[in-house]
A = this chain, B = another copy of it.
Amino acid sequence: MSLLVIGSLALDTIETPFGKAERTLGGSATFISTSASYFTEPVRLVGIVGYDFPKEEIEFLKSKGIDISGLEISDTDKTFHWHGKYDFDLNTRESLVTELNAFEKFDPVISSEFRKSKYVCLGNLHPLLQQKVVKQIDSPKLIMCDTMNFWIDGAYDDLIETLKLVNLLVINDGEARELSGEYNLVSAARKIMKMGPQILIIKKGEHGALLFTPDFIFSAPAYPLEQVFDPTGAGDTFAGGLMGWLSRTDDLSDTNLKLAVIYGSTMASLAVEKFSLDGIRHLSKEIITDRFNEFKRLTHFENASI
């Protein structure tokens, strides 16, 4: 099925204890759509870049089968640029530079073709922009939404309105606690699901992810990597695998939601092994399937009783 992806495209400068990458391809929509491209088609990208956006990266996105007819290229502004530096354990990062540039004027208008998309992935954007996108979609089957502390703090009322319009919210543990005012994640999930989304995924970084539906909780582990090279885009890559799998299968059963979370985790684990987008630029089905199977070995156990 069709998957519509809305979010940022950026040129990132990233410093980790292992090295530095300058003006490398980044942004939520980039990671989401690249990750999803391994699962489904068409992946439809809506975003904005500046006149300095490398032509070869446009070609890269096209090479993944991503429909970039919704990608606006500004004549007057540069591409969104973010410069971040991670601390020694990669658990905290500092934003050294955030130049929104063309992204500041992002006003997503969805084409008549794209409006027919059945699956929609709203990357981390101002909640008002997210609402604007949702209202343009004809008859979506599932709308997923990401957000961040910045909007919980600064645009709470708008975010609450967005949450009423989406089916699936994907946030991290800190955001879930802040949004709900609850420390316990199970209590937090209950509260957040009353705000709108029927399905909630709470990402816990190196501790995996929790999937909450009205009927069950599912716990996905993180892949135990000895070396995380660069966590940039891990959450968006997760969302791309998740929504790519759901679009591919067009199946929202409990069983299939669990698989979607594992495919999201699979893709995220591959992403963080290399700098920036490099971990997921050129993957084979074999590599993805092998990693998926490793998740199975990592968590599955036999039946037993006492």
Number of interface residues of A (CB under 8 A): 49
Identify the stretch in A55-63, A143-151, A181-189 within 8 Å (CB) of chain B at 4 or more residues: A181-189
Chain B's nearest CB lies how many Å from the CB of A306?
Answer: 5
Complex CA distance for A303 and B259, rounded to whole angstroms: 8
Q: Is B186 a contact of A224 with CB atoms below 8 Å?
A: yes
Complex CA distance for A289 and B288, rounded to whole angstroms: 34
Q: Is A114 an interface residue (CB 8 A)?
A: no
Q: Is A92 an interface residue (CB 8 A)?
A: no
Complex CA distance for A288 and B297, rounded to whole angstroms: 24
The interface bits of chain A over 191-216 (1 if a CB of B lies within 8 angstroms of the residue's CB, else 0) are 00000000000001011101000001
Q: Is A141 an interface residue (CB 8 A)?
A: no
Residues of B within 8 A of A297 (CB): 216
Q: Is A305 an interface residue (CB 8 A)?
A: yes
How many of these chains are in the complex?
2
Q: Is A302 a contact of B255 with CB atoms below 8 Å?
A: yes
Q: Which of B186, B285, B303, B305 contacts A306 (CB 8 A)?
A: B285
Residues of B within 8 A of A210 (CB): 224
Q: Is A289 a contact of B262 with CB atoms below 8 Å?
A: no
Assuming the contacts A183-B89, A217-B224, A219-B221, asked whether A300 and B298 have C-beta atoms less than 8 A apart, the reply is: no
Q: Is A186 a contact of B226 with CB atoms below 8 Å?
A: yes
Complex CA distance for A198 and B225, rounded to whole angstroms: 20
Q: Is A96 an interface residue (CB 8 A)?
A: no
Assuming the contacts A224-B217, A224-B219, A226-B184, asked whether A259 and B38 have C-beta atoms less than 8 A apart, the reply is: no
Q: Is B39 a contact of A298 with CB atoms below 8 Å?
A: no
Q: Is A288 a contact of B302 with CB atoms below 8 Å?
A: no
The interface bits of chain A over 219-263 (1 if a CB of B lies within 8 angstroms of the residue's CB, else 0) are 111101111100000000000000001001000000100110011
Complex CA distance for A213 and B66, rounded to whole angstroms: 42
Chain B's nearest CB lies how many Å from the CB of A193?
Answer: 13
Task: List A residues at the B interface (Cβ < 8 Å).
Answer: 38-39, 88-89, 183-187, 190, 204, 206-208, 210, 216-222, 224-228, 245, 248, 255, 258-259, 262-263, 285, 288-289, 292, 296-306
Give the 9 A-B residue pairs with the shortest CB-CB distance, closest first: A219-B221, A207-B207, A186-B226, A258-B301, A89-B183, A299-B299, A289-B305, A186-B224, A219-B298
A-B pairs with beta carbons under 8 Å apart, 21 shown: A39-B306, A184-B227, A185-B206, A190-B226, A216-B297, A218-B298, A219-B298, A219-B299, A220-B299, A221-B221, A221-B299, A255-B301, A258-B302, A259-B304, A262-B301, A263-B304, A263-B306, A289-B305, A289-B306, A292-B304, A300-B300
